[in-house]
Chain A
Amino acid sequence: MAEPMSHVLLETRQIRKRYGGIVASDGIDLDVQRGSLHAIIGPNGAGKTTLIAQLAGQLRPDSGSILFDGQPVDRLPAYQRARAGFARSFQITNVILELTVLDNLALAVQAREPHSFRFWTDASRDPSLREPARHVLDTIGLSARADVPAGQLSHGEKRALEIGIALATEPKLLLLDEPLAGTGPEEAARVVKLLASIKGQLTILMIEHDMDAVFALADVISVLVSGRIIASGLPAAIRANADVRRAYLGDEGAA
């Protein structure tokens, strides 16, 4: 790549992933600029979640390479990628329903520590866990819900907590898998506002179907169709791109 390393936080080179006859990733090349909010759009089944899972380390590509901060991370398992600075949120809300909102965040703060072989001090009273967790709680606007079990949150609040857990690990790169999935208009507005407030503070790679949100938030948009990036560029350029209109927007119209 011609660009200097320091501007690109995440780079994928020719990622391929095949499930039987289905090619989920068909040689994906992606550059995510440091500090940007990079959105990936594409029709259902384009391989978006598969891509995120390969980046976060839950899935291994069949071939290709992922560079993070200039270093290959292909051999790192998911937990080591998290430690290297990846954080992901899930399309299907993946918080610990049985624990309180604050406990969910405190566990994510705890994940930053070198290890958790600490058997003695009461974690629920440790300010070094609780204070950063409360800070994130403020950011995601759930301060009033700190001691509520996460299972009792509304869907929109759970989506915010989902992002909060990722934020609490203090990642360099936030991978968001459809942060607006299943939200109503009001809840969606809340999550968009949250994303706008953290935008610029860290690098974000986001998959999203809600075009209003994507065009409102994204600095760069890549279009994934059938496992291939067919276009990548500024929102205005993507909106005007004829291939995108045909392959993607047309598809959505049919669905």
Chain B
Amino acid sequence: MTKERIALALVVVLALLPLLFAAMGESYYLTVATRMMIFGIAALSLDLILGFGGLISLGHAVYLGIGGYAVGILDFYGINNGFVQLGVATLASAGAALFIGAVSLRTSGVFFLMITLAFSQMVYFLAISINSFGGDDGLTLNAHSDLGLNFGNTQVFYYFVLACLAFFLWLSFRVVRSRFGMLLRGMKFNESRMIAIGFPTFRYKLTAFVISGAICGFAGALLANQTLFVSPSIMQWTRSGDLLVMVIAGGMGTIVGPVIGAILFLLLEKVLASFTTYWGALLGMVLIALVLMGKTGLLGSMTKGGRSHG
């Protein structure tokens, strides 16, 4: 099965899921599934730079925070237009990614990891210290982003998020097959070779970083809409770690794998937490098993051959 077909199957299953939940009379599951899809978008965005660019960022949750706070702060000032809110969330994240990337992409490996972490910690502590937007306690939103859709209805919001997920999946599959995507892969495997044949690699890496940050910021705006609440914890560095786990467990460089990784991660978190308060340890064991089973992650072992084409 190709990755595109898996993605299509996933979207179809997700589209039918609300019917199942309705039959079960478990509408709460819909909220959980919406959250999974939002993190799926965030994990997918990380995969663009991790799986295709080979950049291990430990600060990716910062864009969730920037996107979320963009919506929260606009709401605070009474601006509820959804196009403005989602647009500002995406652009603000892109701008932050441009700045963070311009500095951090001059390094690589563990230094890149440390710098992205440092930037995310800076923004995290900034959010904690600004009391007018709630500081440590977070910021409660007055209303959902107004796109003319009733986001208060969990089913409407579910399908909106699903549509966004489907769009970003499609977008990402196109991008990784484009010239830009080919170059991104070339740089991941052998950057010096790409420079030697005439590619100015820095500007392409930075572009990928900005696209990735923008998509993640959009996911942050969705998250704020779901909970009508943003707090600094959304961009804690452990959250960035979670995103890495989702991508790696789901299959780096597969686009749809990280989405499945995000769904399973949050599912495991829920299921294991219902059994024991020590669910973190169990989750750790599952992850170790997943990684030991194969470096390619869950989806890598499902799609045989492992052709490097996205």
With A97-B189, A99-B186, A149-B308 given, is the CB distance from A111 to B180 under 8 Å? no
CB distance from A247 to the nearest CB of B (A): 31
Q: Mark B146-189, 1 if CB is under 8 A from A, else 0.
A: 00000000000000000000000000001101111111011001
Given contacts A79-B198, A118-B180, contact A98 B193 (CB under 8 A): no
For the complex, give the distance between the alpha carbons of A98 and B179 in Å: 17
Kindly specify which of A35-43, A87-95, A186-194, A221-229 makes contact with the partner chain: A87-95
Of A17-25, A120-128, A234-242, the one touching chain B: A120-128
| In the assembled complex, B105 has its CB within 8 A of some CB on chain A | no
Contact B196 A121, beta carbon cutoff 8 Å: no
Give the complex CA separation of A133 and B169 in angstroms: 29
Option from A77, A99, A112, A117 in Cβ contact (under 8 Å) with B185: A99
Nearest to B177 among chain A residues (CB) is A122
Contact among B185, B189, B195 with A79 in the assembled complex (CB-CB below 8 Å)? B195
Report Cα–Cα, A168/B189, bound state, in Å: 19
CB < 8 Å: which of A97, A122, A166 contacts B178? A122
Q: How far is the CA of A129 from the CA of B179 in the complex (A)?
A: 10
What residues of chain B lie closer than 8 Å to A103, measured between beta carbons? 182
B275: shortest Cβ distance to chain A, in Å?
A: 40
Q: Are B193 and A96 in contact (CB under 8 A)?
A: yes
Q: Which residues of A in the span 108-141 have a Cβ within 8 Å of any Cβ on B? A: 108, 110-113, 116-124, 126, 129
Distance in angstroms from A110 CB to nearest chain B CB is 6
Please tell me if the beta carbons of A78 and B193 are within 8 angstroms of each other in the complex. no
B308 touches A98 (CB 8 A): yes
The listed residue with most B CB atoms (<10 A of its CB), out of A95, A111, A113, A121, is A111
Interface size class of A (residues with CB under 8 A): 35 or more
Total number of residue pairs linking A and B with CB closer than 8 Å: 100
Q: Are A110 and B308 in contact (CB under 8 A)?
A: no
Contacting residue for B197 out of A82, A99, A126, CB 8 A: A82
Q: Is A106 an interface residue (CB 8 A)?
A: yes
- Cα A212 to Cα B36 in complex, Å, equals 65
**A116 adjacent to B308 (CB under 8 Å):** no
Q: Is A152 an interface residue (CB 8 A)?
A: no
Binds A, one of B9-17, B116-124, B199-207, B227-235: B199-207
With A116-B179, A120-B178, A124-B182 as contacts: A107 and B197 at CB distance below 8 Å:
yes
Q: Specify which of A80, A95, A107 lies most central, judged by the most chain B CB atoms within 10 Å of its CB.
A: A107
How far is A94 from B190 in the complex, measured between Cα atoms in Å?
8
Is B143 in contact with chain A by the CB < 8 A criterion?
A: no
B194 at the interface (CB under 8 A from A): yes
B309 CB-CB contact with A under 8 Å: yes
Q: A94-B190, A99-B189 are known contacts. Are A123 and B199 too (CB-CB below 8 A)? A: no
Whether the Cβ atoms of B192 and A116 lie closer than 8 Å is: no
Q: Is the CB of B201 within 8 A of A107?
A: no
Q: By the criterion CB–CB under 8 Å, are A94 and B189 in contact?
A: no
Interface flags for A144-179 (1: CB within 8 Å of B; 0: not) read: 000001000000000000000110110000000000
Q: Residue of A at shortest CB range from B197? A: A111
Interface centre among B178, B181, B308, B309 (most CB of A within 10 A): B178
Which chain A positions have C-beta within 8 A of B180?
Answer: 116-119
Residues of A within 8 A of B198 (CB): 79-80, 82-83, 111-112, 169
Q: Which residues of A contact B181 (CB under 8 A)?
A: 119, 123
Residues of A with C-beta under 8 A to B192:
58, 94
Q: Name the contact of B196 in the complex, choosing from A88, A112, A118 (C-beta under 8 A).
A: A88
In the complex the two chains form, is B182's CB within 8 Å of A119's CB? no
Does A79 contact B201, Cβ atoms closer than 8 Å? yes
CB pair B179–A58 under 8 Å, yes or no, is: no
A217 within 8 A of B: no
Q: Is the CB of A118 within 8 A of B179?
A: yes
Contact A123 B179 (CB under 8 A): yes
Closest to B207 in A: A117
The residue from A58, A90, A111, A123 contacting B177, defined by CB atoms under 8 A apart: A123
8 A–B pairs (Cβ distance < 8 Å), ordered by A: A58-B192, A78-B195, A79-B196, A98-B308, A118-B179, A122-B177, A123-B177, A149-B308
What are the 8 closest A-B residue pairs judged by CB atoms, nearest first? Answer: A82-B198, A111-B198, A111-B197, A118-B179, A123-B179, A123-B182, A116-B179, A83-B198
